Amino acid sequence: MTTIQTFAGLGLGLRRSHYHDFLEGEVAVDFLEIISENYMVAGGKPRDVLSRVRERYPVAMHGVSLSIGSAHGLDADYLRRLRELADWLDPLWVSDHLCWTRTSAHNSHDLLPLPYTRAALDVVCDNIDRAQQAMGRAMLFENPSSYCAFPGNEMEEWEFIAAMARRTGCYLLLDVNNVFVSAHNHGFSARDYIAGLPLERVRQVHLAGHTPGEIVIDTHDREICDGVWRLFAEVSDMLGDAAVMIERDDAIPPLAELLAELDIARAMQQAGAKVAA
């Protein structure tokens, strides 16, 4: 499978309320991430905006509907349309989530957790092989956030991800907030989780806000909390040249607020690099 080169930039998600800023202004980001499904119809306004954005910034594709854990296999038409977008856009990379979203008869539109069993690992690896073949490139897969676990799990989530990367040659998108959320909800150590991953396969990092509570909910609707920042600061020097971005999907603030958070990430990266040197 193809190699995905590192891209050591800081970026944001491309959201409709910021279209004007990115098309007209000089915004201090190194790349933008799109939600792939919002641009999978050729022609029309979304593609027009994206073509103009692409002239100014490198773009990463991030999908939510591949359903890489589906025991019923992958949707060939979805893969064809995803490939068409990727061939048109020439993105930094194409990512999706380690989860399942549908069966052959029903689409939940939710990123649902998988059982971490050897049988599920076989299904996921077969699907990744097929997806990467269909896309003509290696892909990135993101660690999920979750609120429940299967009683028959045979390995830890990070062991499942490490085996998946080793067997398929895929790369990883490390969502630090998802690790924080799941560590709280399931009672594992976020540091052990990250240390257990093949970090040399990480090409992108997500940072995001969540809703605190007895069960922490991954809402992407507020600023990044101190605990996620602390976790990122602790691990940033282990992540090499992975690109880092802030995910905000709801209650989207003016761009200046997100750029201020990106400045914090930049400062932490630089501090981490100094400590590591």
Piece of 9-17, 48-56, 206-214, 254-262 that binds Fe ion (CB under 5 A): 206-214
Minimum CB separation of residue 175 from Fe ion in Å reads 4
Site for Fe ion in 29-88 (CB under 5 A): none
Taking residues 236 to 265 in sequence order and writing x for each that binds Fe ion by CB under 5 A, - otherwise, the string is ------------------------------
Q: Pick the stretch among 4-12, 38-46, 117-125, 172-180 that binds Fe ion (CB under 5 A).
A: 172-180
Q: Give whichever of 63 and 272 is closer to Fe ion, judged by the CB atom.
A: 63
Of 70-78, 87-95, 167-175, 262-270, the window that binds Fe ion (rule: CB under 5 A) is 167-175
The smaller minimum CB distance to Fe ion, of residues 37 and 129, is found at 37
Query: Among residues 207 and 268, whose Cβ is nearest to Fe ion?
Result: 207
Strand-pairing partners, residue 96, are: 141
In this chain, which stretch among 53-61, 67-75, 193-201, 204-212 interacts with Fe ion, using CB under 5 A?
204-212
At which residue do the structure tokens 């977008």 appear? 85
If one asks whether residue 157 binds Fe ion (CB under 5 A), the answer comes out as no
Nearer to Fe ion, 102 or 220 (CB): 220
* One of 102, 184, 201, 206 touching Fe ion (CB under 5 A): 206
CB 107 → Fe ion: shortest distance, Å? 20
Q: What is d(CA 156, CA 144) in angstroms, rounded to the nearest whole number?
A: 13
Q: Which is nearer to Fe ion, 56 or 222 (CB)?
A: 222
**Which residues fall within 8 angstroms of residue 42, CB to CB, at 6 or more apart?**
84, 88
Shortest reach from residue 116's CB to Fe ion, in Å: 19
210 binds Fe ion (CB under 5 A): no
Give the whole-angstrom CA distance, residue 87 versus residue 225. Answer: 37
Q: What backbone phi and psi angles, to 5 degrees, belong to 94?
A: -120, 125
Residue 142 near residue 97 (C-beta atoms within 8 A):
yes
CB of 44 to Fe ion, least distance (A): 27
CA distance 7 to 242: 6
Which pairs with CB-CB distance under 8 Å and at least 24 residues apart come from 254-262? 255/12, 255/18, 255/21, 255/27, 257/223, 258/12, 259/12, 259/27, 259/28, 259/29, 261/207, 261/223, 261/224, 262/10, 262/11, 262/12, 262/28, 262/29
End-to-end CA distance of the chain: 33
Q: Smaller CB distance to Fe ion: residue 66 or 126?
A: 66
175: contact with Fe ion by CB under 5 A: yes
Tell me the CA distances in angstroms from 208 to 42, 142, 232, one per residue in order. 30, 13, 11
| Min dist. Cβ of residue 245 to Fe ion (A) | 9
| Window contacting Fe ion (CB under 5 A); options: 73-81, 157-165, 173-181, 256-264 | 173-181
Tokens of 230: 């602390």
**Which residues contact Fe ion (rule: CB under 5 A)?**
175, 206
